[in-house]
Amino acid sequence: MKAYRTTQTALRALRRNPMRATLTTLGIIIGVAAVIAMMEIGSGSSAAIQKTIASMGANNLMIHPGTAASGGVSFGAGSVMTLTPDDSEAVARECPAVRSATSVVRVRTQVVYGNKNWVPLFIYGVDPAYLDVRDWTNMAEGEAFTDRDVRNANKVCLLGQTIVRELFEGRSPIGKEVRIKNVAFKVTGVLSAKGANMMGMDQDDIVLAPWTAIKYRVAGTSASTVNQSSAASSSSGVNTLNKLYPSSGASLYPVPSETQAADTPQPVRFTNVDEILAAAKSTAEIPLAIKQITELLRQRHRIHPGEPEDFSIRDMTEMTKALSSTTGLMTNLLLCVALISLVVGGVGIMNIMLVSVTERTHEIGLRMAVGAQARDILRQFLVEAVVLCLIGGALGILVGHGGSYLVKFFLHWPIKTSPGAIIAAVLVSAGVGIIFGYYPAWKASRLDPIEALRYE
Amino acid sequence: MQLIELKDIYKTYYIGELAVPVLKGVSLDIAGGELVALMGASGSGKSTLMNILGCLDHSTSGEYWLDGREVSRLSADERAFVRNQKVGFVFQNFNLLPRTSALENVMLPLAYTAEHLPDREARQRATEMLDRVGLGDRFHHEPSQLSGGEQQRVAIARALVNRPSIVFADEPTGNLDSHTSEEVLRMFQQLNEEQGITVILVTHDANIAHYARRIIHISDGIIDNGAMSGHHQSEAAKAGGVK
């Protein structure tokens, strides 16, 4: 009952001097607003920076086939054909820590359009998931090819900015046909600019096409992949799609009946890909993703425990390190700014409360003369401080949130609302009220009533 | 039994190492229902004596019996409780809370009363008090909208709201003109006669002291019996008198 009455007294005292209450609150409003705005703008920027670094491929995992060796001579990484498109699909489907995965088939050859030609740095045969893996889903023009194009080995492709500049001199290539090793590919889209990678290689100097089209129509017999053993690739046997005039190839043998086929089972056609590119869900999940992929591929490739793997997984350690250090840096920076703002707000509250105690010495003396005990005075001033801080905290959240929205609206900066920051701001503003309000309240409660009444 | 009994009260202030004795053995009795003036020049110790009587301060030595209870050794919080229950103060400079209505000013002591008192009842009691001091139409005026006399009457209502047995008035007319002063002093007399409230007027002005039925003259920290006029002395002797 008495606490309720003290609270009421404190509220009345606040209402009596709205100017002072407003000024006191202003300190905490600015403090909390700064915290909220900094947290929202900061975590938005942090997320944007992380996304930028991630789009450089920091979360990417490259799975290469293992090494072939003959008589003590190693042929280097990727010299055996152990990875299949099915592996890629299984990785995307069965590893929870993997966001998406794509098969990659590489060739290096000339691309021709009209009277111009160019040898791109990268001609990749991929799944549509490649764009997601590389964070490259924003097309500058047109649209990406689909899984259906991959199944049908359709002759469609996406061009990087450099190719567009070199072959089309900046005109739109959509719907035009470029020839890759005499196979005409229709351009369906243009990739957005990505610039150089960490090694300084131009990532826009790229042609992307369905991996089936590249593998069966372009690579085929050409042996242009880097594989040592690609001359013996089984794909040469099925490279009928490569022919310029497919209708000319008449079948020399009768089609085997179902019984015949069942009696003489053909070995399942083995298709290999040069690389599987996967993206982990987040930087933190990279080690987990590596573990899951290793387990899955060992099982799929029927490798017994203890036997060496026939594939290798590499991550972008350098970029991952940069990413996590940036994240840590941003978090610490935000924390520092938030703490400084709150301390400034808190000291502001303490100052005004102290001034208020001095200014109200007479009132305190009078209250004591009519029977207020020390703890009544202490409680009154403490409640005043906490009420001001809570009101200030609530207004601060609104102001801070509004401020960050203005920044988003006018400067187009990314912002990210965090409920955690809001809860923390409320708790902290009440805490600031108690901590910084305690000293002035304590000082007020220690006043001698006679001195206080005589004070002018 | 006397309402107030002081026995050999000493009060010494210390300024650094220097001891300044202000009260040097004060003993006096005041019965319930008296109207007493405590008179003395400035520096005579009358304010210090009033602070001790009003339980705002405690003496260095000696006994103080208030309403049958020894209060000179109480803690600060216990003294606050005694002030709240038994004592009302009227100050020279009114000491009303600024920007607060007359009604809320009068209700102030009730906020610190331990007894359970709902807001409505507190309001009603404050209204009654303001009515009694003749401010029935000024409930919601703030001190800055009231004249000096009216402000002092609000202060008197505040002193009375907790139904104290003693009201201390410290130079209650010091800031008022002679006409309003008389009104306020008549009001103290009226309260004393009609309600039997003990009133102690602290003043340096002999004209004001004459409104009281008994004058206690203090000079240099000692009660001076000889300062009392014959007329008052005889009445004082009947009422129990000064030791």
What does the pLDDT look like over B179-211, one tens digit per residue? 999 999 999 999 999 988 999 999 988 888 888
Alpha-carbon distance of A270 to A23, in angstroms, equals 78
**Contact check, Cβ <8 Å, B98/A16:** yes
Alpha-carbon distance of A172 to A189, in angstroms, equals 9
What is residue A66's predicted lDDT score, i.e. its pLDDT?
82
**Contact check, Cβ <8 Å, B97/A368:** no
Shortest distance, CA A380 to any CA of chain B (angstroms): 11
The CATH superfamily of B33-56+74-228 is: P-loop containing nucleotide triphosphate hydrolases (3.40.50.300)
Residue A200 tokens read as: 């300084």
Residue B27 tokens read as: 């003993």
Q: What angle (nearest 5°) sits at the alpha carbon of residue A441, between those of residues A438 and A444?
A: 150
Domain boundaries, chain A: 2-53+323-454, 61-230+270-316
Q: Looking at the complex, does the CB of residue A335 fall below 8 Å from at least one CB of chain B?
A: no
Q: In what order do the strands lie in the sheet with B61-66?
A: B18-30, B4-15, B61-66, B69-70
For A181, phi then psi, to 5°, come to 50, 50
**Contact check, Cβ <8 Å, B112/A366:** no
Residues of B in contact with A362 (CB under 8 A): 95
Residues of B in contact with A17 (CB under 8 A): 99
Do the Cβ atoms of A413 and A407 come closer than 8 Å?
yes
Residues of A in contact with B77 (CB under 8 A): 373-375
Who's near B76: CB < 8 A, 6+ residues apart? A373, A374
Alpha-carbon distance of B185 to A274, in angstroms, equals 110
3-state secondary structure of B137: coil
pLDDT averaged over every residue in chain B = 85
pLDDT averaged over every residue in chain A = 82
Task: Enumerate the β-bridge partners of residue A271.
Answer: none
Domain boundaries, chain B: 33-56+74-228
Lowest mean pLDDT across A22-26, A326-330, A342-346, B47-51: A342-346
- Buried b / exposed e along A378-415 (16+ C-beta atoms within 10 A): bbbbbbbbbbbbbbbbbbbbebbbebbeebeeeeeebb
**Contact check, Cβ <8 Å, A371/B89:** no
Q: What is the pLDDT averaged over residues A202-215? A: 90
- Buried b / exposed e along A335-365 (16+ C-beta atoms within 10 A): eebbeebbeebbebbbebbeebbeebbbbbb
Instruction: Provide the H-helix boundaries in B112-229.
Output: 119-132, 148-160, 178-195, 206-209
Shortest distance, CA A333 to any CA of chain B (angstroms): 46
What does the pLDDT look like over B94-148, one tens digit per residue? 889 888 899 989 988 888 886 667 888 888 999 999 998 888 888 899 999 999 9
What does the pLDDT look like over A261-271, one tens digit per residue? 666 655 445 68
Q: Looking at the complex, does the CB of residue B83 fall below 8 Å from at least one CB of chain A?
A: yes
Q: Does B80 or A222 have the greater pLDDT score?
A: B80
What does the pLDDT look like over A114-142, one tens digit per residue? 899 999 999 999 999 999 998 888 888 89
Greatest mean pLDDT among A17-31, A35-49, A125-139, B218-232 lies in A125-139
What does the pLDDT look like over B38-67, one tens digit per residue? 988 888 888 899 999 999 988 999 999 998
**Residue whose token pair is 């200030």:** A392
| CA dihedral sign, ordered A273, A274, A280, A284 | positive
Do the Cβ atoms of A178 and A112 come closer than 8 Å?
yes
Substitution target from A370, A379, A446, A456 for chain B, most B beta carbons within 10 A: A370
Alpha-carbon distance of B175 to B183, in angstroms, equals 13
Is the per-residue pLDDT at B154 higher than 90?
A: yes
Q: Are strands A177-180 and A111-113 parallel, antiparallel or unpaired?
A: antiparallel
* Residue A208 amino acid letter: L
Q: Looking at the complex, does the CB of residue A3 fall below 8 Å from at least one CB of chain B?
A: no
Q: What is the pLDDT averaged over residues A274-289? A: 89
Is the per-residue pLDDT at A336 higher than 90?
A: no
Least CB–CB distance from A12: residue in B76, B104, B113: B104
What is residue A258's predicted lDDT score, i.e. its pLDDT?
74
3-state secondary structure of A62: strand
Lowest mean pLDDT across A13-17, A291-295, B28-32, B201-205: A13-17
Q: Looking at the complex, does the CB of residue B77 fall below 8 Å from at least one CB of chain A?
A: yes
**Residue whose token pair is 């794909």:** A235
Do the Cβ atoms of A222 and A107 come closer than 8 Å?
yes
Q: Are strands A60-65 and A311-315 parallel, antiparallel or unpaired?
A: antiparallel
Least CB–CB distance from A371: residue in B51, B97, B112: B112
Residues of A in contact with B54 (CB under 8 A): 369
Give DSSP secondary structure letters for A135-197.
T---EEEE----HHHHHHT--EEEE-HHHHHHHHTTS--TT-EEEETTEEEEEEEEEPP--B-
Shortest distance, CA B56 to any CA of chain A (angstroms): 7
**Residue whose token pair is 């004795």:** B21
What is residue A189's predicted lDDT score, i.e. its pLDDT?
93
Residue A372 tokens read as: 């207020």
Q: Looking at the complex, does the CB of residue A450 fall below 8 Å from at least one CB of chain B?
A: yes
Is the per-residue pLDDT at B230 higher than 60?
A: no
Shortest distance, CA B14 to any CA of chain A (angstroms): 15
Least CB–CB distance from A17: residue in B77, B99, B114: B99
Q: Looking at the complex, does the CB of residue A2 fall below 8 Å from at least one CB of chain B?
A: yes
Q: Does B238 or A356 have the greater pLDDT score?
A: A356
% of chain A at pLDDT higher than 70: 89
Q: Closest-CA residue in chain B for A6?
A: B111
Alpha-carbon distance of A228 to A65, in angstroms, equals 12
